[in-house]
Amino acid sequence: MTDLILALDPTTKTDAMRIASAAAPHIDAIKIGYPLILAEGLDIAKELKAFGLPLIADFKVADIPNTNQLIAKQVFEAGFSGIICHGFPGSDSVRACVKVAHDNEGECYVVAEMSHPGGAEFFQGGTAERIARMVIDAGADGIIAPATRPERTRILREIIGTRKILSPGVGAQGGDPDVIAGLVDGIIVGRAIYESDDPGAAAAGYASLRGKRT
Ligand code: O7M
């Protein structure tokens, strides 16, 4: 199954609730991160829970293990079901997030390679591949890999096997959903939905891609 994950990055609660409400019937999960949380506080997670969808905390956590676990505990106490961390701080830092996630029956995803043009500057030369291998050893649930470079995501799929790949970069960043959907377990879409005049219809437009990966 390929899930459609809404990146809910607007910075007011009014917009966030309006867009989530319109999109909810057509999506499988909501990802929120700094833009919305810094504007409205962590408690917005409790309100978004009302839509009955998994909530993923995209804080790209990237610190020492102790700080990572303190952050992760806050995330799961706030009602999230998943957390995203960076892999480059090392396996002990990733394991700290994985432990808290699994203690809370949640999931932990690790950024292996980023989708923007600059994402190719440092996540190259085998770094993303090493992060993907580390993710398996650390027991994380999957990786984040770019929809904008499907050839890279295909290589990371070979490493990650049946663990999940969530893939941002569709729509506003130019990634082709038809190309990436069959390769990954979730496509992450933000502006193409939340900047639309009709976010419900925009989300519904991805219906044929949901379930593309069998
Ligand atoms: O569709 P967009 O471009 O409006 O939004 C994409 C979302 O995915 C946005 O919330 C980004 O912060 C996030 N994202 C990327 O765009 N690229 C990455 O490499 C990684 C992420 C991400 O979600 O990381 C967990």
The Cα angle at residue 55 between residues 27 and 169, in degrees rounded to 5: 60
Tokens coding 85: 């961390």
Q: In the prediction, which pLDDT does 21 show?
A: 98
Determine whether 73 is an active site residue: no
Tokens coding 34: 């700094």
List, as one string, the DSSP characters of 15-68.
HHHHHHHHHGGG-SEEEEEHHHHHHH-TTHHHHHGGG---EEEEEEE-S-HHHH
pTM of the model: 0.97
List, as one string, the DSSP characters of 79-106.
T-SEEEEESTT-HHHHHHHHHHHHHTT-
Give the separation between CA 117 and CA 23, rounded to whole angstroms: 28
Q: Which of 13, 60, 99, 164 is catalytic?
A: 60
The best mutation among 58, 85, 185 to test binding of ligand 1, ranked by most ligand atoms within 8 Å of the C-beta, falls on: 58
Q: In the prediction, which pLDDT does 214 show?
A: 46
Give the separation between CA 120 and CA 130, rounded to whole angstroms: 15
Nearest CA among 189, 184, 185, 116 for reference residue 155: 184
Tokens coding 101: 């996630």
The best mutation among 31, 80, 115, 195 to test binding of ligand 1, ranked by most ligand atoms within 8 Å of the C-beta, falls on: 115
Tens digit of pLDDT at every position of the chain (214 positions): 799 999 999 999 999 999 999 999 999 999 999 999 999 999 999 999 999 999 999 999 999 999 999 999 999 999 999 999 999 999 999 999 999 999 999 999 999 999 999 999 988 889 999 999 999 999 999 999 999 999 999 999 999 999 999 999 999 999 999 999 999 999 999 999 999 999 999 999 999 887 665 4
